Amino acid sequence: AQTVTQSQPEMSVQEAETVTLSCTYDTSENNYYLFWYKQPPSRQMILVIRQEAYKQQNATENRFSVNFQKAAKSFSLKISDSQLGDTAMYFCAFILYNQGGKLIFGQGTELSVKP
């Protein structure tokens, strides 16, 4: 069975600084995708960044980047120049290529950006 683990329930960062959120996952499959989703206090979940496991290059979306270590099954999210609007729950998620729509989410990390 596939699992996703986020070991940091809460984190905080000062505005304009950099923060890294950790995620590990477990699978015996090779063809999968990893994601970070953000859930602000308004509740609507939003996709932040997506990584295809067969791509060695780490994905980047503006201030958000990942460090994907396939052998270690690690997938961390780095947020640079943190903004107040980054305050949210962040969920790491995983999907197998052949698993239809079944995203598996971690427990989440609550990030607070402080002014």
Partner 1 sequence: DTGVSQNPRHKITKRGQNVTFRCDPISEHNRLYWYRQTLGQGPEFLTYFQNEAQLEKSRLLSDRFSAERPKGSFSTLEIQRTEQGDSAMYLCASSVWDRPTIGKLFFGSGTQLSVL
Give 84's DSSP letter.
G
Contact track, partner 1, 8-37, x by CB under 8 A: -------------------------x-x--
Q: Please provide the DSSP assignment of 18-75 as one string.
A: -EEE--EEE-S-SSEEEEEEEE-TT---EEEEEEETT--SPPEETTEEEEEETTTTEE
Q: Shortest distance, CB of residue 75 to partner 1, whole angstroms?
A: 13
Q: Does 43 bind partner 1 (CB under 8 A)?
A: yes
Rule CB under 8 A: which residues touch partner 1? 4, 33, 35, 42-47, 50, 91, 93, 95, 97, 100-108
